[in-house]
Chains A and B, each alone.
Chain A
Amino acid sequence: MPAEPLPTPSVGAVALREPRYGRVAMALHWLLAAMIVGSLGVGLYMTGLPFSPQRLKLYSWHKWAGITILLLSALRLLWRLTHRPPPLSARVLAAMPAWQRAAHRISHALMYLLFFAVPLFGWAYSAGMGVPVVWFGLLPLPDLVAVDKDFAEAVLKPLHQRSAYLLAGVTLLHVAAALKHHWIDRDGLLQRMWPAPRKESAG
Chain B
Amino acid sequence: MTTRLLWAGATLLGLALHAAAEPMPATAKLVPEKSQIAFVSKQMGVPVEGSFKRFDAQVAFDPKKPEGGSVVLQIDTASAGFGIPMSDAELPKPTWFDTAHFPQASFRSSAIKALGEGRFEMAGKLTIKGVSKAVTVPVSITSSGGAYAVATGTLTIQRLDYKVGDGEWTDTSVVGNEVQVRFKLTLGGLGPL
Contacts and interface: CB of A to CB of B under 8 A. Distances in A.
Interface residues of A, number: 17
Contact of A131 (B48, B89, B171, B174): B48
B115 interface: no
Q: Is the interface of A mostly helix, strand, loop or mixed?
A: loop
B47 interface: yes
B47 A130 contact: no
A132 B42 CA distance: 11
Which of A53, A56, A60 has its CB near the most chain B CB atoms (within 10 A)?
Answer: A53
Nearest to A53: B174
Contact of A56 (B44, B47, B49): B44
Contact of B44 (A52, A137, A149): A137
A130 B171 contact: no
A132 B82 CA distance: 13
A133 B45 CA distance: 9
B44 A60 contact: yes
Contacts of A99: none
Interface in A42-58: 51-53, 56-57
B3 interface: no
B46 A132 contact: yes
A129 interface: yes
Nearest to A133: B46
B5 interface: no
Closest 6 CB pairs of A and B: A137-B45, A60-B44, A53-B174, A134-B45, A134-B46, A51-B90
Interface of B: 43-49, 82-84, 86-87, 89-90, 168-169, 171, 174-175
Given A131-B84, A134-B44, A137-B45, 7 more contacts: A53-B168, A56-B44, A59-B44, A60-B44, A137-B44, A137-B46, A138-B45
